[in-house]
Structure 1
Amino acid sequence: MYTAVALDGPAGAGKSSIAKRAAKALDFIYVDTGALYRTIGYAATLDGIEPVDSPEVDALLAKTKVDLTFNDKGEQIVLLNGEDVSGFIRTPEASMTASKISAIPKVRAFLLDLQRNMAKTHNVIMDGRDIGTVVLPDAQVKIFLTASPEARAQRRYKELLEKGMDVNYEDILSDVKERDYNDSHRATAPLKPAEGCVIVDTTELDFEQSVEKIISVIKETI
């Protein structure tokens, strides 16, 4: 019997980095579902397809194969039709495209089995927007990780600056708020805390404190 941890929350809450560190500490596999949607969005961008429900997106899915694999450090590698695209899907543009494409029901259905199969064959911490509500509703541990929009924008701003990118804090804050609205108001699998989840607000916590909090919630639950 494998243990599944569903970690949901808004954009920029630190889900990926926190989940990755917690998974390593617990010897779980970390599954970044946002990367899957980013990959579909990236595929659409490559083909010049608008990220809206359309026959063009249907055709794109029909010829698209997305796989998750892991390197010897346990880090997730995302493959698009056999090609590692992990380095191409982390831009602000890719983030916004992912938000739009993830609202398409057929895209969500396309990726659902891949995500569920991971939880059937590994102990996982899986992060996303609808893991506890839709993807893994029977997960043993459900956590909703959040922080204020300002705190999330500041963290993203700092992260992108450290990567040498020319970014503006107000633009990032605007993107965070727009993403929050889009994710929570979409018709399919809107962002919301899962029933019975533990809500963890990291606005006042630093990274290490956030990781410790998540690990303690997981250990107390399982």
Structure 2
Amino acid sequence: MNIPVLTIDGPSGAGKGTVCRAIAKKLGWHYLDSGSIYRSLAIAVLKAGVDVRDVGAVTEVAQAMSLEFDCGDELTVRLDGENITPQLASETTGNTASVVAAYPEVRAVLLQKQKDFQQPPGLVADGRDMGTVVFPEAEYKVYLTASAEERAKRRYKQLIEKGIGANLDQITSEIEARDRRDQERNIAPLAMAEDALYLDSSDLTIEQVIEKVMNLVR
């Protein structure tokens, strides 16, 4: 059975998550937020109480864990049925994720976990290497980006609206540095698939981006 997959890759702050969740809801398809995969494993490892340096034990936890992504107004991530969304952003989770992500055995298990999200009637996959590494045969591929300056403005606005102090120049520098790291890393670097639709959202509203992606799938 040919199960359609839409991959949306691109740098941080381009609006991938918002667009992917909206498209998944419109189509009634499953949703994969690949950016949460390693952080979810980190939480599973901490809950299991295994030694993060024990590759075999970490791999077993990765094989056993069950993940679900709910596309509400905000993303909800469930690990073995439990809502772990608030824990994903913690420093402990991030530090543990960076350790477990270095193990090739773990990466192989989580690659298969991501592939397993391809279920009827279809899948919308959000990430950095969805169209190049995880689903290279996907029927629909989009590379969604925006200028570093525009992405920094969006992030700055989000922080200010939440009452968090922010410096626009500093955010811009951090985004540019992250782009370089993502593009230059050895494992699954950020790259545009040759057969992807290139979309620059710098001067587009979220609604306009969603419409362009829907037109591709239609």
TM range (shorter): 0.7 to 0.9
C-alpha deviation, 1:176, in angstroms: 1.4
Aligned-residue offset at 1:108: 2.9
Structure 2, unmatched stretches of 5+, are none
Distance 1:98 1:55, change over 3 A: closer
- C-alpha change, 1:165 and 1:107, in structure 2 (3 Å) is farther
Mapped partners of 2:55, 2:156: distance in 1: 32
Q: TM-score, normalised on structure 1?
A: 0.79
Counterpart-to-counterpart distance in 1, 2:157 and 2:92: 17
Q: Provide the secondary structure at the position in 2 that maps to 1:6.
A: strand
Tell me the secondary structure at the aligned position of residue 127 of structure 1: strand
Pair 74,159 (structure 1): closer, same or farther in 2 beyond 3 Å: closer
**Secondary structure of 1:17's match?**
helix
Deviation at 1:61, TM superposition (A): 4.1
Aligned to 1:14: 15
Q: Is the 8 A contact 2:31 2:70 kept in 1?
A: no
What is aligned with 2:134? Answer: 135
Bigger radius of gyration among the two: 2
Whole-angstrom distance in 2 between the partners of 1:82 and 1:60: 20
Tell me the C-alpha RMSD between the 2 structures.
3.4
1:179 aligns with 2:183: no
- Classify the secondary structure of the residue corresponding to 1:23: helix
Code of the aligned partner of 1:152: R
Structure 1: give runs of 5+ residues left out of the alignment.
48-53
How many residue pairs are counted as aligned between the two chains?
215
Kept after mapping to 2: 8 A contact 1:39/1:80:
yes
CA distance in 1 between counterparts of 2:93 and 2:171 reads 14
Mapped to 2, the partners of 1:43 and 1:105 lie a distance apart of: 18
Pairwise CA distance, 1:69? 2.2
Q: Which stretch shifts more, 34-43 or 127-136?
A: 34-43
Runs of 4+ in 1 over 6 A off after TM superposition: 43-47, 91-101
Give distance in 2, aligned partners of 1:161 and 1:46: 34
SS of residue paired to 1:183: helix
